[in-house]
Structure 1
Amino acid sequence: MQNSSERLYFIDNLRVFTIFLVIVLHASLCYMVYAPQWWYVVDPQRSFVFDINVLLIDIFIMPTMFFAAGYFATPTLRKKGTGAFWIDKGWRILLPWVLGSLCLAPLIAYMIIFSRTDTPPNYIGFWFGDFWGPYFQQAHYWFLGVLTLFFLAFTLVNGLIPRVFQKEARATQPSRWLFPAFLIITTGAFLAGNLFYSADAWEHISYLFVIQPARIGIYAAYFALGIYSWRCGWFTAFGYRPRPLGWSLAAVITAIAYLAYRIAHPAPTELIVKLGWGLLQNAFSMTTFFALLALFQRYVNQGGYWWRRFGENSYGIYYIHNLILLPTVYLLRPTGLPVLLKFVIVVLFTMLFAFVFLEYIVKVPLRWRKGTIKSPGYPSNQKSD
């Protein structure tokens, strides 16, 4: 079995790629033809290409992030103990969630009004007024709240029945029924929420958690799958390694089927149509997720300098990206540039500006203070939540 201290670089690298896709998704929302009415900034120049982007990318990126969090949950808890585990999560997840939801999400939500009127209301008045009414949300910080909830449930179950999370003595392969069962579970979770809410609806629970009812169960399933896969030694020398060709072909087929179904049934009301939507969506999500795992393990399983630097900053990039992306979209609106060029500028500028800001403005003074400035190529101290 693979040495437990050996770094699974491909999971970190996949997480970097996923954060990049989050930026692509949020930029696409600004330029899609059928953008949500509540989306923060919408450019009058639009293309249906970006609708396709949103329909596809939106499905698998968050399951990937929840899986990665679940995969490293047990070894991190075992290494640190419950107290240190939660001190770490408090600083890295809980506190950023609270600050982001209370201080930054109102600023992002304010862009809905600011970008649509020549005389926007006073921001402070909005923050303490309408934000807590029809404009309430947690922006992209909802992820941290749900992740906190999952870690809490994980810690409680681990305290009650720790043997459930005990790693197998030898790596085991998934049974032939695992993937069909997982597809049934995620489809059932989707349908349970979709019976009462639209597939893309957002709801808040007493202002504390912001969730999508049709997806929250899916995210929990991927988080649990991450825990299970670590327990079974997946991705190690003798563990399960998904095959790139098979999963990639399945991803292409399910993507085409799901996309055609979504376009044909944009807002289904019949139960059987909702079931078909849920089945195809989750088949596409699962096959694409495993295809990405397979491709990254086969071809991007190394800790190159730039992968490590972006990996160490990936969380920070996720945290601040909308604060860069949305003003950039707003400033580019009157330029008259081709919509595709605007999109490329927004995506690249957001990713690179966030990285440069974090790597060379925020972190360099901290490294000088700690005496840890080193030449390029120094070992990454990246952590995996």
Structure 2
Amino acid sequence: METERRYDIDWLRVVAIALLLIYHIAIVFQPWASFIGFIGSNEPMEGLWKPMSLLNVWRIPFLFYVSGMGVYFAIRRRNGWQLVIDRSKRILLPFVFGVFAIAPLHAVVFQYHYTLPLQYYPHPGHLWFLGNIFVYVLVLTPLFFLLKRKSLRVFRKGLSAVTGHPIGLLGISVFFVLEALLLRPAVFEMYALTWHGFFLGFLAFFFGFLFVYSGKAFWQTVGQWKWLYLGVALTSYLIRLIFFETKLPGYALALESNCWIFGIFGLGYCYLNRPSRLLRYLSQAAYPVYILHMVVLYAVAALVLPLALPSWVKFIAICGLTFAGCFLLYEGLIRRIGLLGPLFGMKKQPSRAMMPGKRAVETEGTIPG
């Protein structure tokens, strides 16, 4: 099994979480924001949605792919029960805590901002992603450990041959196309708490594991053909932007989504596979920031939107203050109070972590798979 640390995957996790925050901030400036439970600006910036429609077809599937890859690296040093126990601590615990203590908070901010009756009710909100991941781990763990057996080397070699060819790798999109054709989602990009999002995430999680399992072939293919995949994806986006108002059938968006993802993996493999202190810090922070960001975003939006400022200034201000608020809470509370760490997916370190200059807790990536 591959043993080297893949810093490019860590970097891409961090970038994906940052883009997720920006995407959610952009929703604040859409005229339909309040209809989906976001605090909305009275002066929308609908032009923001054009670049967001590029992100939206791949941002969530990408995180599912990365989470599946994370499971491959996790089973190198765990058996099946250890994996389930670890993921219960790292995913199920933050999910349950978030359902009862985090997600309801931004609903309360929403109600207060619009002078609605204040009501508290547990719900997953943006943490639906964690619930899906935990189910995938439970369902697929027996299969993942079965694939580790030496008797399945032939399957692994065959998979490596498929992922080692640019068209073979692209052919895996057939499964995603079939998902879109069978479920026919009204909106392809509606992933949260839908069967479409569940099965699309399942496929991406599963293939994320298989891509790393197949060996170096996948990485060599995406590294060599990254510009082809990105070119196909950009062409698809420009066609739907110019001729179809950014809309295409779900099966076409499934293909575009995977082209973006394969191209981005290729860029990461070629240019980001190197360590840094900044990466270590951001990798530890990204999971807690993901859990917190909606509460901070709603609070910041409620404060900034009433100000007499141009819309673009408000957008920049909300971006800056949301990121700053998330990192202040992470640095000032979560990272320093040991009891909070596990509730936000942080992992206690062995005794060496208690040495001078070391932190007591850290994370394995941003969204553990």
Task: Normalising by structure 1, report the TM-score.
Answer: 0.80
User: Partner of 2:276 in structure 1?
Assistant: 304
User: Partner of 1:155 in structure 2?
Assistant: 141
2:354 partner amino acid:
G
For the residues of structure 2 that align with 1:236 and 1:214, how far apart are their CA atoms?
Answer: 26
1:97 partner amino acid:
F
**Residues 1:165 and 1:213: Cα distance change in structure 2 (over 3 Å):** farther
Q: Identical aligned pairs, as a percentage?
A: 19
Does structure 2 conserve the Cα–Cα contact (< 8 Å) formed by 1:165 and 1:227? no
**Residues 1:37 and 1:71: Cα distance change in structure 2 (over 3 Å):** same
Gaps of at least 5 residues in structure 1 are 203-209, 266-275
The structure 2 residue matched to 1:104, chosen from 99, 102, 105, is 102
For the residues of structure 2 that align with 1:49 and 1:299, how far apart are their CA atoms?
Answer: 31
Shift of 1:27: 0.1
Does structure 2 conserve the Cα–Cα contact (< 8 Å) formed by 1:257 and 1:280? no
User: Partner of 1:248 in structure 2?
Assistant: 230
For the residues of structure 1 that align with 2:107 and 2:152, how far apart are their CA atoms?
Answer: 40
Task: Normalising by structure 2, report the TM-score.
Answer: 0.83
1:310 partner amino acid:
L
Q: Deviations over 1:254-303 (max 9, x none)?
A: 221233465275xxxxxxxxxx5113311221111112111122222211
User: Partner of 1:29 in structure 2?
Assistant: 27
The structure 1 residue matched to 2:127, chosen from 120, 141, 147, is 141
Q: Deviations over 1:326-382 (max 9, x none)?
A: 110111011122212222222232223322432354324659996344389xxx873
For the residues of structure 2 that align with 1:15 and 1:56, how far apart are their CA atoms?
Answer: 18
Gaps of at least 5 residues in structure 2 are 339-347
User: Partner of 1:273 in structure 2?
Assistant: none
Does structure 2 conserve the Cα–Cα contact (< 8 Å) formed by 1:242 and 1:293? no
Q: Deviations over 1:10-32 (max 9, x none)?
A: 00100000000110110000002
User: Partner of 1:259 in structure 2?
Assistant: 241
Is 2:337 the counterpart of 1:337? no
For the residues of structure 2 that align with 1:261 and 1:140, how far apart are their CA atoms?
Answer: 32
Does structure 2 conserve the Cα–Cα contact (< 8 Å) formed by 1:183 and 1:279? no
Is 2:274 the counterpart of 1:292? no
1:1-385 superposed matches below 5 A: 4-35=2-33, 37-117=35-115, 120-122=116-118, 126-127=119-120, 131=121, 137-158=123-144, 163=149, 168=156, 172=161, 173-175=163-165, 177-194=167-184, 197-199=186-188, 211-234=193-216, 241-260=223-242, 263=245, 277-364=249-336, 366=338, 371-374=354-357, 382-383=364-365, 385=369
Q: Quick check: 4-13 or 159-168, which moved more?
A: 159-168
1:46 partner amino acid:
P
Q: Quick check: 13-22 or 250-259, which moved more?
A: 250-259
For the residues of structure 2 that align with 1:108 and 1:140, how far apart are their CA atoms?
Answer: 10
For the residues of structure 1 that align with 2:143 and 2:26, how far apart are their CA atoms?
Answer: 39
Question: Number of aligned pairs?
Answer: 350
The CA RMSD over aligned residues, in Å, is: 3.2
Does structure 1 conserve the Cα–Cα contact (< 8 Å) formed by 2:166 and 2:225? no
Shift of 1:139: 1.0
Shift of 1:62: 1.1
Give SS of 1:335's match. coil
